[in-house]
Amino acid sequence: MGLERVRYQTSFTDSARWDGLVFRPGDIVISTPAKCGTTWLQMICALEIFQTAAFDRPLDQISPWLDVLLRPLPEVLADLEAQTHRRFIKTHTPLDGLPFDERVTYLCASRDPRDVAVSLDSHAGNTDRAVSLALREDAVGTAVLNELLAGAPSPPSGTARERFWAWVNPAAPGKAVSDLEIVLHHLDTFWQVRDQPNIVLLRYEDLLEDLEGQMRYLAARLGIAVPEEAWPDLVQAATFQGMKSRASELAPEASHNGFYHDPSQFFHSGSTGQWRQILGEEDLPRYAARVAQCAPADLAAWIHRPALPTPSNF
């Protein structure tokens, strides 16, 4: 894209790991903010590429998360090099931190950030921190991990409402694995180039409302011909219940014993409007004001339906 890549590094990921990958024509990069439907897009790609719901390996081995610090990088690159099918690779790195290749299709999905915050909070409570730390230590070494952890902000505490606002207005914006600014920046890197032919920008809410239509649209954008008779089984396999029933195969890192307290809870709700359980209408102007600081108005309007209060209401 002609711009110098940004390096995104946290105690959990490092976008510099992309430097070791050699792209092939037809590769697919699934780049979404955390909890915006990443695993869903991986599943849809797998179903459309293989045209079967039966896989020979867990989904996160078929479609590895390249920049996460849970496996040694040489192992991940070797797995990708050995793949002979059309590759589709997961990342939570924004587009400006990824190598850009016109032969590669880049997928991104948005989700109402208020639901992202609620889903992320549930995900954090379901993850065993000690197991995660042990995997990262094995992958990068004690010294590197300690250095990364030293610069990481503390996890938010307090009530669900207090944790939500700590995610919206963190003490150190942009430094955690996820916060509102990180989500909106990630989406904006795609929004600004959404008209390019190898950029596909989707909405989580549209996938919920019209899964088959969105799957057909994505197949067309990827140039994949799916036999008409195959669609019902493929769509069923991509539903929330269909994926939740196969959590041990589909949830990322579920193959690591003890990573989740309950792997099925990775697929926690699969719905919209969860944020209403902790926020009221009176909270929306405060939230909207922060969104306006972090995202252009057209992107914010596209993400949030119905629309947020306008700045004149703040």
Cα distance between residue 197 and residue 61, in whole Å: 28
103 sits in the region (left: phi over 0; alpha: psi -120 to 50; else beta) called alpha
Angle at 272 between CA 267 and CA 269, to 5 degrees: 20
CB 66 within 8 A of CB 91: yes
Cα distance between residue 60 and residue 39, in whole Å: 9
Complete edge-to-edge strand list for the sheet that includes strand 88-91: 88-91, 28-31, 105-110, 199-203
Two structure tokens written together for 119: 């889903």
257 alpha-carbon distance from chain centroid: 22
Nearest to 211 by CA among 239, 183, 181, 184: 239
DSSP state of 263: G
Two structure tokens written together for 149: 């952890």
Amino acid symbol at 147: E
Give the number of other Cβ atoms within 10 Å of residue 281's Cβ: 8
Catalytic pick among 92, 185, 186, 304: 92
Cα distance between residue 264 and residue 61, in whole Å: 18
Cα distance between residue 313 and residue 229, in whole Å: 51
- Scan for tokens 């994926």, then name that residue: 243
Task: Look at the chain and count its residues.
Answer: 314
Longest dimension (CA), the chain: 56
The question of whether 185 is a catalytic residue gets the answer: no
Catalytic site residues?
92
